[in-house]
Structure 1
């Protein structure tokens, strides 16, 4: 089989997640991120050697459309290009960029092809195939969400994973002791990738994953809600999230560029939620929040 490799070069690291989302929405097979001197590069693959230039123009156009959300950085110097690969080269290209990553003292994320790792008694291993979805533990938003889960999980029993992407946060929560987990994503590609990643982790293959927009139509309540989605979508999610949260519950919100953090905090204050902690990395913020009444007990 021949593959088309599509590369997007850009000069603002904050664009990484936006570009990743756009590529996956256009049926790309996974994404690779790397730095090269003063440029950032995201590469992806299509199972088709006849990718038209129109698709490259469409990808760039959809990236540029995010300007309307008011990001405080320039959408400039974005270059989209393509090249052909055969099947063997594709496998080598894909696998050379993903290696085991230590998220914290206790948590390691490894790709399926490098999962034979000797762990200490207190270490947890998450096995992933980056496949067709976003969230391998290397991006700042996923990385800090994993750290936030490790910070807050104690004796909680249930969690909703909103915009699950690859399922990595659900897998991590299960390994930290959460038994009742449901994962949701609006993208069927992400749902399918999540199911596969659950199957790679024997303690996670019974986690429920559904195609769903945010928590629309979901009536249950849980101890933890985690939502790693863009800030603009979080603005629509926050007003209704209280209805799905148990007493003394905790919410983790991520996908927030630093410039949007205050806007999210103000939206939380409108529904009487307070920020418990903020984890920052590479221009992104992850917020841990609870109801004001629970924080002030």
Structure 2
């Protein structure tokens, strides 16, 4: 039975990206954000706010950001480094108070049981839905040709976060069938599988974390997909030489800004770049990269504090 150490921080929502990045830099095999209000709001708003319509969250409610560290990690050293980085965030004003932190050992099997017990199918659009693997045979679940069956593995995402929803809807908006797609930062593989369900002819997935790649491959098999597929460990699109009809990346704003110039040379002339994971107060670098690399914004999608873009190269 695999043991992990879970470090959980209770923070104000505006600091979630900074804390997530810190946990990843310290060696976390992923970072999850638990906000009970998000799921309610996603359902209430039918998942999507188009550009120009306003749904801004002004309150300072707290949420939990969790990092997961393998059993060979030096947790004491990680806690010390985390404490130092929190001091810097307090100095910069990104945190208004010192977070409440809990450290706990968990078992991978327990994570799976919790996921199956507490998470229900999520309807993304009329036909597109995410179904937890443990619920697929439930009489309450209507399985469709666009059902994404998900067993997230430890820390790689349940598909509930607004950034994932926006990326999935972006794919649904542009796909017509037969496309060659690459999912950058695949995590649990939810976007790779979504592309396949929407008719992709070939799918590639990559992630910097080997365990995320394993999770993607496992979920691909779980969905019993039979189109050409490959997944591999990689840092964004470095050293990728193929060309694609669609490149999709649900990653944090810093890496979105790095992905855009890499995608330019790999995207087919009429292809689409879909990027998600950008907080609406951190768009400056991303928009600068869009302009510098001669992309145009076809559509801006917004949900709560998050923004996603469907981009196309300027002719």
CA drift of 1:136 comes to 2.3
In the alignment, what sits opposite 1:132?
154
The answer to whether 1:203 aligns with 2:204 is: no
Q: Distance in 2 between matches of 1:101 and 1:88?
A: 23
CA drift of 1:287 comes to 0.4
Q: Distance in 2 between matches of 1:88 and 1:133?
A: 13
CA drift of 1:48 comes to 5.1
In the alignment, what sits opposite 2:78?
55
Q: Which of 48, 54, 64 pairs up with 1:41?
A: 64
2:283 aligned counterpart, secondary structure: helix
Alignment of 1:42-191 (within 5 A): 42-43=65-66, 52-59=75-82, 61=84, 73-74=94-95, 76-83=97-104, 92-117=113-138, 124-191=146-213
Q: Distance in 2 between matches of 1:179 and 1:236?
A: 27
Deviations 1:142-191 (A, max 9, x none): 11100111111113520111111221101000010002111111111211
1:56 aligned counterpart, secondary structure: helix
Q: Distance in 1 between matches of 2:271 and 2:65?
A: 37
In the alignment, what sits opposite 2:49?
none
Deviations 1:265-284 (A, max 9, x none): 23212222110111111211
In the alignment, what sits opposite 1:277?
299
Q: Distance in 1 between matches of 2:268 and 2:109?
A: 50
CA drift of 1:117 comes to 4.8
In the alignment, what sits opposite 1:225?
247
Deviations 1:72-120 (A, max 9, x none): 9547432221245688866654544432111111111122212225666
In the alignment, what sits opposite 1:234?
256
- TM-score scaled by length of structure 2: 0.77
CA contact (8 A) 2:90 2:98 kept: no
The answer to whether 1:7 aligns with 2:8 is: yes
CA drift of 1:212 comes to 1.2
**Are residues 99 and 16 of structure 1, via their aligned partners in 2, closer, same or farther at CA, if it must alter by over 3 Å?**
farther
**Are residues 274 and 166 of structure 1, via their aligned partners in 2, closer, same or farther at CA, if it must alter by over 3 Å?**
same
